[in-house]
Amino acid sequence: MKNRIKQLLTTIVCILLVIHVQAQQQIREGKLTIDGNTYEITRSSSGPYYLVWNMDRSELRPNREMVNGIPLELANTKMTNKNELMEVVCEALGAEKRAQLSTQKEKISGWIYYRGDGSVINIVFKVIDHTKLTLNDLFKIEETFKTRFKANLESVGNLHQHLYHISFNYEWNFDQ
């Protein structure tokens, strides 16, 4: 009888732990931490969306205005390998999660901050309310970009190399 009660209590504790972990990963307003990274999640004022970003923005200081007397706003930076972005997202999410997003016709949009060498600093995500994505999914996307992707950047006179950060908007559609 004691063993039966002990098994039942252990099962209940495990179920509650699983529910608690899943609830922490859902996209909802507030600050959540995954693997030492703190994310802020806010509801968008422009629609049923959430904005999600890694709060470590230490590298996102204001860019310089001039280099050698040339205004950096004239850099006109372009990324030549934008077509690779969706491949990285698909790799990070895996087939099962992509299928869920496709069924729901979801998309992720936002912007990515790059260093002058093309490596990723930070990603801001804009996701729909009641998304199938979890914070853990977004963390995987960000980490995959940071470890496996480098933007090919071009600018007039390579001025982009003098910028502290460069940002580009993105939109990844899963309804196709």
Task: Note the pLDDT tens digit of each residue in 23-53.
Answer: 447 888 999 988 888 999 999 888 899 999 9
pTM of the model as a whole? 0.80
One-letter amino acid at 95 equals: A
Type and span of the H or E element at 163: none
Q: Rg of the chain over CA atoms, in angstroms? A: 20
Rounded to whole angstroms, how far apart are CA atoms 3 and 1? 5
Q: How large is the average pLDDT for residues 53-60?
A: 82
Residue 164: band (very low, low, confident or very high) from pLDDT cuts 50, 70, 90: confident
Task: Note the pLDDT tens digit of each residue in 93-107.
Answer: 999 999 999 999 999
Q: How large is the average pLDDT for residues 125-140?
A: 94
User: What is the pLDDT of the chain when averaged over all its residues?
Assistant: 86
Neighbours of 108 (CB within 10 A): 23
> With the C-alpha atoms ordered 39, 42, 44, 47, is the resulting torsion angle positive or negative?
positive
Residue 62 neighbours by CB under 8 Å, 6+ apart: 164
